Chains A and B, each alone.
Chain A
Amino acid sequence: MSNDNAKLTLGPVLFNWQAETWRDFYFRIADEADVDVVYVGEAVCSKRAPFHAPYVADVVERLMDGGKEVVLSTLALIMSSREMEELRATAEGADGMLVEANDVAACALLAGKPHVVGPFVNVYNEGTLRYFAERGATRVCLPVELRRDAIHAMAGTKAADIEVFAFGRLPLAISARCYHARHHGLHKDSCQFVCDKDPDGLELDTLDNEAFLTVNGVQTMSYTYQTLAAELAEMRDMGVTHFRLSPHTCDMVAVAKVFRDVLNGKTDVEGADDALAGLVGDAPFSNGYYHGAKGVEFVTE
Chain B
Amino acid sequence: MFSPPSSSSGPRPPLSPILIGGLVARPLPPSLLQPALSAAMATVNRRHPGLFERLSNLDTPVFLIDPVDLGLVFVLHADAERPTLTARRTGEGCGAVATIRGPLLKLLELLEGRTDGDALFFSRDLVIEGDTGAVVALRNAVDGTEIDLLNEVAGAFGPLAGPVRGVARFGQRIFARMAEDMEILHGALVSTTQRRVEAQGVKLRDLDAKVAELGKSARRQRTPKS
Contact = CB atoms under 8 A, between A and B. Distances in A.
Direct contact of A and B (CB under 8 A): yes
A211 B226 contact: no
Interface string A199-242: 00000000011110000000000000000000000000000000
B209 A300 contact: no
Contact of A273 (B209, B213, B222): B222
Given A210-B212, A210-B216, A211-B216, A284 B225 contact: no
A211 to B, nearest CB: 7
A285 interface: yes
B216 to A, nearest CB: 6
Contacts of B223: 298, 300
B222 A284 contact: yes
Interface in B204-226: 208-209, 212-213, 216, 219-223, 225-226
B23 to A, nearest CB: 40
A277 B209 contact: no
A285 B221 contact: yes
A211 B225 CA distance: 22
Interface residues of B, number: 12
B216 A298 contact: no
A277 B221 CA distance: 6
B221 A280 contact: yes
A189 interface: no
Contacts, number: 33
B222 to A, nearest CB: 5
B212 A277 contact: no
A211 B216 CA distance: 8
A95 interface: no
A285 B226 CA distance: 16
B225 A209 contact: no
A298 B222 contact: yes
Contacts of B212: 208-210
A282 interface: yes
A90 B216 CA distance: 44
Interface string A262-301: 0000000010010001001011110000000000001010
Nearest to A230: B225
Contacts of B219: 211, 282, 284
A135 B212 CA distance: 52
A137 to B, nearest CB: 35
B216 A209 contact: yes
A270 B212 CA distance: 28
A277 B222 contact: yes
A186 B212 CA distance: 31
A208 B226 CA distance: 28
A109 B225 CA distance: 47
Contacts of A211: 216, 219
Contacts of A282: 219
Interface of A: 208-211, 270, 273, 277, 280, 282-285, 298, 300
11 contacts: A209-B212, A209-B213, A209-B216, A277-B220, A277-B222, A280-B221, A282-B219, A285-B221, A298-B222, A298-B223, A300-B225
